[in-house]
Structure 1
Amino acid sequence: MATSFLQKYQLQNHQLLLPKKQCVTYALYALIALAFLHYLLFYPASASGKSVVVAQVQEQVAAVASARVDAREQLLPPAPPPPFNQGDEALRNPQAKEEVPAPPPCDYSDGEWVPDARPPLYNGTSCGTIKDGQNCMAHGRPDTGYLYWRWRPRRCELPPFSPEALLRWLRNKHLGFVGDSLARNQAESLLCLLASRSAPELVHRDGEGNASRRFVFREFNATVSVFWSPFLVKVIEKSEHAGVGARRHNNVFLDAFDERWMSQLGDLDAAVLSVGHWFLIPGVYHDAGKVVACHGCEELNHTETDFFGVFKDAIHRTLAEVIRRQQHGHGEKKKKEKVVAVTTFSPAHFEGDWDKAGACPKKRPYRNGEKGLGYTESEMRKTVVEAVRAAGEAAGSGLRFVALDVTNLANLRPDGHPGPYMSKDPFAGGEAGERRVQNDCVHWCMPGPVDTFNEILLQTILR
């Protein structure tokens, strides 16, 4: 519509110009004649005089022609402006580019699991860092459908994991996973994903069952460490074996930090913290020399409390201590930029007794709306998200906090746990029936849904 209007407007003005154009032409001819007559009457007929007159006549003709052009341009409508170009605007106004709002970060927590025929980057035999209990392939799990799903966010894309991209970022850097066995599960998933591009070398191990380990990718001078710290703060863990003097509760000290990993914080370029399930285990919580909470301790002379308050306290205090140590660091430790990611609570999927066949029997993901989050999962997730937000507001430059919000996507994957295949060939003697068999419906098969945690971690780090 605007184009037809401009065409009609220009046509009308062109028609109006025709008479004026003729008038200007006639005026030009008249002036030329007068100039020639002036020459005949007042100048001698010499060659030099004629040359001067000719030059004067040419100047007068040029002046008239210029006046004619000016008159015509005044009658023409102005030319329409060129189409707007953001690049041109940026050249005219250097601040224009900064004023354009950046797209919001992707909300990876909101989405659905969709079928995906692509095979995983590794398997149960190609990666030597898988903990035995999560190696579902090697332990004989017969179904493989749990391998062929991918998480699809609703409002953005989650690219497949790129070992090359993370290794490039990790060159000359140190990434540490800190927390409980689910932190280790995620760390081993990342090591296997990266091993599809470059083989890791184990250079250090420590603790019971080698709970803390360090790997180096020599080609990139990249380091990945796993630190065992199931509460992030200091703890005296309960005894695994019963007997006289055995500790049946974890003793957790909220006002002291686990220096097994906290003392290494200055050397880390990125840390992934993941805790939660150990707070559900019976424990006694201390602060400033007093017992402030007790969970699952009916036989002790303490008031029973829930674990939500102490979980929140431990998370907030830990992130505040990270900020304090970053601000009070010295030399290179203070200068080093750091990303601290906190993985939200990963729900379990027990549908029966933990030591009976069929504890987590599902063979496919839940559909959206088929299973919502329970109260415990919602509160644990909420605590982490709010703590990360508060820490991000309090942190100074050089320190970035992010939440790896995996609670919803993990909740929809009851099919991704080892179940009875935490042990090799659990039914080698025949079908289980009523036979007791240990099940793992907490940790994740590898490969499996836990690999998606690291797809999100990669995009979060690169963002």
Structure 2
Amino acid sequence: MITAKNKNYSAFLHSSSLLKTHKGKSTARRKGLIMGTIDLFNRDKSFSLMKRLLPWTLCVLLTISFFYPLPFSPFPNPHLPLSSNNTITYLSSLSASASPPSSAEREKTNETRCDYFNGEWVSDSKGPLYNDTTCGTIKEGRNCITHGRTDLEYLKWRWKPIECNLPRFEPQTFLQLIKNKHVAFVGDSMARNQLESLLCMLATASTPKLVYSNKTGKENQFSRWNFPSFNATVSLYWSPFLVHGIEKSSTDPNNKLYLDHVDERWARYMGEMDLIVLSFGHWFLIPAVYHEGDSVLGCHYCPGLNHTEIGFYDVLRKALRTTLKSIVDRRGARGRGIDVIVTTFTPHHFEGEWDKAGACPKTKPYRNEEKQLEGMNAEMRKIEIEEVEEAKAKARRRLRLEALDVTKLAFLRPDGHPGPYMNPSPFVNGNVKHVQNDCVHWCLPGPIDTWNEILLEMMKNWENQLRNED
């Protein structure tokens, strides 16, 4: 986990169609059809009865053609509202039925296809589902309100996707979806942060029971909770690189990563997992030496060592590729026996250097036009999404795999970090010269609750798809 005590963190900071209606063509087609019909009747006098009915027939045809396109027309009716999301569904429904889809059907289609990751933060007076006193699983460093934070406006924002509404978290629905299942959060302290948020929201419906905890220092590195009423298990596996790694120590300031071997500390339990949520990235910004096979590939920020400086982008890609391949190889043969979510990289918001009074003093989200996702944040996100898509193609429906793309919506929330309130009452002694800040992790409750709201919608969509296939 990155903390302000990490003397090497400064190395990271330095490395850082519109549809056209063609009304004229459609009208010409209709006129051609009508004239062809008139010529047909003029050729044969035996159709006198039908000729007498012709005017009425033409009135009906013209009325219908005005409101609905002819079956062979490739263009939708310009008089009906049509969004880009339901174009395909709308056209196919017209070919199968004379009536257009209902508003409820269109709304259902939009919700199913919604891009939850493209939107903006909007004002919301309802506030979070829980608070600092109703949840007993908040890590001390994230409990901003208890630690004295008084500017609580950061709790009054909701993420609003452009194409739809993101429903509020439904703890009962989530618990039903994981009934008799095991959900594992694997990764670094951001995985733990998201897990803590989920436990707090689920606790509003059912109290989680801690059944296992393996602490290293102050941190719960391997923990497991159970929801007895649902026989559901939620666990945490500390693995900041996902692959095998040896963390730096007082005698060796460099991490050692073995990029071709998944971390067996969590992977050996893969057989009992039903959903894996992977979250990693920040530890790759710390000085490290990289191994693959029997060779040293190079290093990141390792002055004094005789290794080639190769940065961390390609290393991040290799680590995620090894991890996803291991999951596909070990669990893919069992069909849909496991689901995988990769939570994308979440940016920090230090203003100034982290160890020289760097802080995150913003009290409101950024507007979309204020900040553009670029540089390291954009590159980390791009790598993770590309590797997820490549793994999906190789898995060939043997398992379900998606990216929980929270990079942008996290990037727009500089106000949601603990800041100085990572410690209790940081200003109790007056105006001190230097107060340690955490501008990496997220207050609980806070913006990270949105990660789990989107996670639930992804799980609901998976369940709907499974029912439709059956």
TM over 0.5: yes
Partner of 1:400: 400
Partner of 1:146: 154
The CA distance in 1 between the partners of 2:325 and 2:416, in whole Å, is 34
The CA distance in 2 between the partners of 1:130 and 1:210, in whole Å, is 12
Partner of 2:442: 444
**CA contact under 8 A between 1:111 and 1:153: conserved in structure 2?**
yes
Give, in angstroms, the shift of residue 374 of structure 1: 3.5
Give, in angstroms, the shift of residue 207 of structure 1: 4.4
The CA distance in 2 between the partners of 1:154 and 1:382, in whole Å, is 21
Tell me the amino acid that sits aligned with residue 244 of structure 2: K
Give, in angstroms, the shift of residue 340 of structure 1: 0.6
With 270-279 and 337-346 compared, the bigger mean Cα shift is at 337-346
Identity %: 52
The CA distance in 2 between the partners of 1:356 and 1:418, in whole Å, is 17
Q: Secondary structure at the match of 1:449?
A: coil
The CA distance in 2 between the partners of 1:327 and 1:162, in whole Å, is 30
Give, in angstroms, the shift of residue 284 of structure 1: 0.6
The CA distance in 2 between the partners of 1:421 and 1:401, in whole Å, is 36
Q: Secondary structure at the match of 2:415?
A: helix
Partner of 2:268: 263
What are the within-5 Å matches in structure 2 for residues 173-212 of structure 1? 173-208=181-216, 209-212=219-222
Tell me the amino acid that sits aligned with residue 297 of structure 2: V
* Residue of structure 2 aligned with 1:312, choices 309, 317, 320: 317
Q: Secondary structure at the match of 1:272?
A: strand
The CA distance in 1 between the partners of 2:163 and 2:93, in whole Å, is 27
Are 2:369 and 1:369 equivalent residues in the alignment? yes
Partner of 1:51: none
Q: How many residue pairs were aligned?
A: 380
* Residue of structure 2 aligned with 1:461, choices 450, 459, 462: 459
Give, in angstroms, the shift of residue 210 of structure 1: 2.0
Are 2:229 and 1:219 equivalent residues in the alignment? yes
**CA contact under 8 A between 2:142 and 2:441: conserved in structure 1?**
yes
Give, in angstroms, the shift of residue 397 of structure 1: 3.2
Q: Secondary structure at the match of 2:241?
A: coil
Partner of 1:164: 172
**CA contact under 8 A between 1:338 and 1:398: conserved in structure 2?**
no
Are 2:140 and 1:132 equivalent residues in the alignment? yes
- TM-score, L = length of structure 2: 0.75
The CA distance in 2 between the partners of 1:195 and 1:255, in whole Å, is 39
Partner of 1:21: none
The CA distance in 2 between the partners of 1:91 and 1:361, in whole Å, is 57
Q: Secondary structure at the match of 2:229?
A: coil
TM-aligned CA distance change 1:223 to 1:88, over 3 Å: same
Tell me the amino acid that sits aligned with residue 139 of structure 1: H
Tell me the amino acid that sits aligned with residue 449 of structure 1: P
**CA contact under 8 A between 1:349 and 1:360: conserved in structure 2?**
yes
Partner of 1:352: 352
Q: Secondary structure at the match of 1:352?
A: coil
Give, in angstroms, the shift of residue 120 of structure 1: 0.7
* Residue of structure 2 aligned with 1:279, choices 276, 284, 292: 284
Q: Secondary structure at the match of 1:337?
A: coil
Q: Secondary structure at the match of 2:230?
A: coil
Give, in angstroms, the shift of residue 147 of structure 1: 0.5
Partner of 1:384: 384
With 104-113 and 284-293 compared, the bigger mean Cα shift is at 104-113
Tell me the amino acid that sits aligned with residue 425 of structure 2: D
**Unmatched 5+ residue regions in structure 1?**
3-69, 93-99, 329-333
The CA distance in 1 between the partners of 2:209 and 2:53, in whole Å, is 78
Rg larger for = 1
The CA distance in 2 between the partners of 1:201 and 1:318, in whole Å, is 29
**CA contact under 8 A between 1:298 and 1:304: conserved in structure 2?**
no
**CA contact under 8 A between 1:110 and 1:154: conserved in structure 2?**
yes
Partner of 2:295: 290
Partner of 1:233: 243
With 438-447 and 75-84 compared, the bigger mean Cα shift is at 75-84
* Residue of structure 1 aligned with 2:119, choices 104, 111, 124: 111
**CA contact under 8 A between 1:356 and 1:439: conserved in structure 2?**
no
Give, in angstroms, the shift of residue 354 of structure 1: 2.4
What are the within-5 Å matches in structure 2 for residues 77-116 of structure 1? 77=54, 105-116=113-124
The CA distance in 1 between the partners of 2:201 and 2:414, in whole Å, is 22
**Unmatched 5+ residue regions in structure 2?**
1-26, 28-46, 69-89, 99-105, 462-470
Query: CA-atom RMSD, angstroms?
Result: 2.8
The CA distance in 2 between the partners of 1:370 and 1:89, in whole Å, is 45
Partner of 2:128: 120
User: Where in structure 1 do 4 or more consecutive aligned residues deviate above 3 Å?
Assistant: 70-92, 100-104, 355-358
Tell me the amino acid that sits aligned with residue 255 of structure 1: D
With 369-378 and 356-365 compared, the bigger mean Cα shift is at 356-365
Partner of 1:299: 304
Give, in angstroms, the shift of residue 74 of structure 1: 8.2
